Amino acid sequence: MPRLTSVLGYTGAALTALAALAGPFVLYGAFTQGIAAMGLRINPVYSGGPPAREITRPGYRIVVYRPVVPRAPFSFARSFVQLAWTPAGALPRRVEDAVDLDGDGRVDLVARFDVPSDAAAPLFLDVTPAGGRVLPLRHVSRGSFSALIARVGDRIVTRIPLAPR
């Protein structure tokens, strides 16, 4: 009888280990569907918010996102607007674009940055406001969530802080 108990014990342990290893793979679809059904959204401070419009330039586009205003009382991020130049491979070596953020026909800022041929090279952004909508930036790289420039896949993403209202 002790031998049968050992066999049953080892079999139970092996099946438990197999279930623990296979469980996440088998149940992954159910977990993702359940989380998607909850309606959770990524905070716009991290995602940049939803796209609002696109500006077409010869060979590339500028995606203008909706302004992000942090809601948390002790938020580490300031209000900002995110812009994405895409595709990065089609950009000229020196980008200097006048951008109308809200589509009212008036330029809100002029963004300038160099696009190095090495995708891993650091990027630096200069922003000159054309009105009181955004704050100026000089030689910004990845200073904060609200003021940065980064290559993300085949896009160059910038975040420009909004002026306080």
Under DSSP, the state recorded for 66 is P
Give pLDDT, residue 14.
87
Question: DSSP H helical segments within the chain, as ranges?
Answer: 2-37, 44-47
Count of CB atoms situated within 10 Å of the CB of 108: 21
Q: What is the mean pLDDT of residues 144-156?
A: 91
Rounded Cα–Cα distance for residues 27 and 120 (Å): 38
- Residue 71 burial by CB count (10 A; 0-12/13-18/19+): exposed, middle or buried? exposed
Write out the H or E segment, with its range, that includes residue 58.
none
Name the percent of the chain lying above pLDDT 70. 95
Q: Give the pLDDT band (50/70/90) at residue 96.
A: very high
